[in-house]
Amino acid sequence: MCFKKLLNLPFFIFILLILTLLFGNYLSIFLKSQLYSVSLLLKDVIICILPFLIFSFVWSGILHLKGESLRGVLILIPLVCLSNFTGFWVSYIFTVPLLNSELMAISALNTGEALAPAWEIVIPRPISNDIALILGFALGIIGNLAKTKTASLDKIADRLLRAANFILKKIICNILPLFILGFIIKMQHEDSLMRVIRDYSKLLVLVTILTYGYMFIGIFMLTGRRIQVAIEKFKNLLPGILIGFFGMSSAAAIPTTIDGCKKNLKNEHIANFVVPAAANMHLLGDCFALPIIGLAIMVSFGYDLPTVQNFFVFSIYGVAAKFAAAGIPGGSAIIFAPLFESIFGFSGPMVTAVTAIYILFDPVATSANVFGHGMFAILFEKANDWVGRITAKICRSR
CATH number for the domain including 32? 1.10.3860
**No. of H helices and E strands in the chain?**
15, 0
**Has residue 133 got a pLDDT over 90?**
no
**Has residue 232 got a pLDDT over 90?**
yes
Query: pLDDT at position 273, please?
Result: 78
**Has residue 33 got a pLDDT over 90?**
yes
Query: pLDDT at position 3, please?
Result: 39
Query: pLDDT at position 32, please?
Result: 92
Q: Each residue of 333-370: b (16+ CB within 10 Å) or e?
A: bbbbbbbbeebbebebbbbbbbbbbbbbbbbbbbbbbb
Q: What is the mean pLDDT of residues 105-119?
A: 71
Query: pLDDT at position 2, please?
Result: 37
What pLDDT digit, counting tens, does each position of 155-170 carry? 888 888 888 878 877 8
* CA 250 – CA 362 distance, rounded (Å): 11
* CA 285 – CA 81 distance, rounded (Å): 14
pTM of the prediction? 0.78
Give the percent of the chain with pLDDT over 90: 28
Q: What is the mean pLDDT of residues 109-121?
A: 75
Q: How far is CA 217 from CA 7, 81, 316, 363, 371, in A?
A: 35, 19, 24, 21, 12
pLDDT confidence band for 80 (50 / 70 / 90): very high
φ and ψ of 279, to 5 deg: -60, -35
**Has residue 115 got a pLDDT over 60?**
yes
What is the chain's mean pLDDT, rounded?
A: 82
Query: pLDDT at position 17, please?
Result: 82
Query: pLDDT at position 156, please?
Result: 85
* CA 283 – CA 269 distance, rounded (Å): 21
**Has residue 85 got a pLDDT over 60?**
yes
- Cβ–Cβ < 8 Å for 255, 368: no
What's the domain count of the chain? 1
> Among 196, 185, 197, 176, which residue's Cα sits nearest to residue 355?
176
Question: What residues make up the domain containing 270?
Answer: 2-397
What pLDDT digit, counting tens, does each position of 171-225 carry? 877 787 888 888 788 878 877 777 777 778 888 888 999 999 999 999 999 988 9
What pLDDT digit, counting tens, does each position of 310-364 carry? 999 999 999 988 887 655 666 788 888 888 988 999 987 788 888 888 888 888 8
